[in-house]
């Protein structure tokens, strides 16, 4: 009913614009016919009480005519502004007091186009858009595709059509036999922006040997994450050297931001000049636990070198891949498993601020 009311107001505003414009044109035609009757308008003047032999007159239009012409377009201008504010206002959202990085919006507001973005030099990542209907959580196929296309862009826009059959075929939580035939009525979303100075590496690349001496950065499996990576392309290893002075950067700390590998593939973190000592091996069985941003610390870095590599087992398409943050730190951090220590100051979560459409 609310949407019908808004549409009715929009139609009324547009009708007023049309009538105002028609009245303006009619006034112009009437004034034009009057001017044709007399080829030369009669001059008018006034007299001064003291200077009884002096006449005063004006040049051009008579008083009030210029203001009248200027005011002709005002009704159309006013109704156009009202139409823009009411009918073309962007989507609005609200915020939860406990979840300060989670935005909440309705399906009707999302239909007005939802735009998210980062500052210059930053790109979007860790995007989460979830539709809700009771105990069901999921996404329509169209919104799922739009969400994945937003990754690694500076900004993007979500378009949602409430009149279409938007069933939650991509289900995150709930009974599949019940939820797949439901349409979301509310949405929650959150996202992060990469720091503009954070180095960004990827393992599926056509570059040669990848070596870097940096204090921290972001590593992704492939440039089009979270779309499925192609295992036939064969990923390369990234060699990270300990920065100088070595005493200041004793520990190698990394946080898994997302991980989704196909059975048989594994992500390995090794140390040593030839990567002969394996410290951490992650595979598809670790995906559920690690999606909560688990942090690892390697204290005994051999030969001041850490090698990050992705091992694939066949030539078929893979999965979404991974994103992780890393930092060299002087002190061993005190942390809980769910605290993204290495991602701090490199991935910047967008804090929710209420917005009205």
With cut-offs at 50, 70 and 90, classify the pLDDT of residue 163: confident
CB contact at 8 A, 245 and 285: no
Closest CA to 317 of 224, 208, 200, 238: 224
Q: How far apart are CA 158 and CA 144, in angstroms?
A: 10
Specify the CATH class of 200-349 in words.
mainly beta
Do the bridges between strand 251-260 and strand 321-329 make them parallel or antiparallel, or are there none, so unpaired?
antiparallel
Beta bridge partners of 117: 155
CB contact at 8 A, 226 and 313: no
Q: Residue 357 pLDDT > 80, yes or no?
A: no
| Cis peptide bond N-terminal to 226, omega within 30 | yes
Burial of 230 (0-12, 13-18, 19+ CB in 10 A): middle
pLDDT for res 354: 66
pLDDT for res 190: 92
pLDDT for res 166: 87
Q: Residue 40 pLDDT > 60, yes or no?
A: no
Give the mean pLDDT of 240-260: 91
Q: 4 by DSSP, 3-state: which?
A: helix
Q: Of residues 56 and 185, which shows the higher confidence score?
A: 185
Helix residue ranges, H only, 190-327: 287-290
Closest CA to 270 of 312, 290, 298, 295: 298
Average pLDDT over the chain, rounded to whole?
A: 77
Q: Which range (34-43, 183-192, 239-248) has the least confidence? A: 34-43
Q: How far apart are CA 354 and CA 343, in angstroms?
A: 25
Query: Tokens 């990754």 correspond to what residue?
Result: 151
Closest CA to 261 of 322, 309, 202: 322
Closest CA to 203 of 237, 242, 252, 251: 237
How open is the CA angle 337-277-235, to the nearest 5 degrees? Answer: 80
With cut-offs at 50, 70 and 90, classify the pLDDT of residue 54: low
CA distances from 255 to 281, 291, 295, 324, 356 (A): 14, 10, 4, 5, 35
Give me Rg for the CA atoms of the chain. 32
Residue-wise pLDDT for 104-160, tens only, equals: 998 888 888 889 999 999 999 999 999 999 999 999 999 999 999 999 999 999 989
SS3 content of the chain, % helix, strand, coil (to 5): 25, 30, 45
Q: Of residues 37 and 1, which shows the higher confidence score?
A: 37
Residue-wise pLDDT for 84-96, tens only, equals: 444 445 555 567 6
With cut-offs at 50, 70 and 90, classify the pLDDT of residue 356: low
Q: How far apart are CA 121 and CA 23, in angstroms?
A: 51
With cut-offs at 50, 70 and 90, classify the pLDDT of residue 240: very high
Beta bridge partners of 307: 239, 270
With cut-offs at 50, 70 and 90, classify the pLDDT of residue 293: low
Rama region for 140: left / alpha / beta (φ>0; ψ in -120 to 50; rest)? beta
Is the model's pTM score more than 0.85? Answer: no
CB contact at 8 A, 352 and 96: yes
Q: Of residues 74 and 299, which shows the higher confidence score?
A: 299
Domain ranges (residues) in the chain: 94-194, 200-349
Residue-wise pLDDT for 273-285, tens only, equals: 888 888 988 887 7
Q: Which range (34-43, 113-122, 290-299) has the least confidence? A: 34-43
Give the mean pLDDT of 289-295: 62
Q: Give the highest mean pLDDT range of 34-43, 63-72, 302-311.
A: 302-311
Q: Residue 320 pLDDT > 50, yes or no?
A: yes
């Amino acid at each position: 009913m609310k949407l019908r009311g808004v549409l009715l107001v929009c139609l009324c505003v547009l009708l007023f614009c049309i009538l105002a414009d028609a009245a303006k044109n009619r006034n112009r035609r009437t004034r034009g016919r009057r001017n044709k009757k007399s080829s030369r308008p009669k001059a008018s003047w006034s007299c001064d009480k003291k200077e009884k032999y002096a006449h005063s007159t004006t040049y051009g239009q008579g008083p009030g005519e210029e203001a009248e012409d200027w005011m002709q377009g005002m009704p159309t201008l006013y109704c156009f502004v009202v139409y823009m504010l009411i009918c073309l206002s962007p989507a609005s959202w609200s915020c939860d007091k406990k979840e300060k990085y989670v935005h909440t919006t309705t399906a009707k507001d999302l239909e007005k186009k939802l735009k998210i973005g980062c500052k210059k030099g930053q790109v979007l990542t860790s995007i989460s858009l979830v539709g809700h209907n009771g105990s069901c959580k999921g996404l329509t196929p169209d919104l799922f595709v739009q969400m994945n296309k937003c990754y690694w862009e500076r900004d993007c826009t979500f378009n949602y059509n409430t009149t279409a059959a938007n069933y939650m075929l991509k289900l995150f939580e709930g009974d599949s036999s019940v939820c797949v035939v439901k349409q979301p009525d509310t949405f929650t979303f959150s996202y992060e922006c990469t720091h503009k100075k954070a180095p960004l590496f990827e393992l599926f690349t056509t570059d040669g040997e990848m070596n870097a001496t940096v204090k921290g950065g972001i590593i992704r499996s492939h440039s089009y994450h979270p779309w499925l990576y192609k295992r036939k392309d064969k990923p390369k290893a990234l060699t990270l050297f300990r920065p100088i002075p070595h005493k200041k950067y004793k520990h190698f700390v990394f946080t898994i931001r997302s991980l989704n590998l196909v059975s048989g593939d594994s992500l390995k973190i090794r140390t040593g000049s030839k990567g002969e000592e394996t410290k951490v091996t992650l595979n598809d069985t670790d995906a559920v636990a690690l999606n909560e941003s688990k942090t690892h610390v390697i204290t005994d870095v051999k030969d001041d070198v850490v090698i990050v590599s992705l091992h694939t087992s066949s030539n078929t398409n893979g999965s979404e891949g991974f994103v992780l943050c890393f930092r060299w730190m002087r002190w061993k951090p005190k942390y809980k498993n769910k605290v993204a220590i290495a991602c701090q100051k490199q991935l910047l979560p967008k804090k929710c601020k209420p917005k009205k459409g």
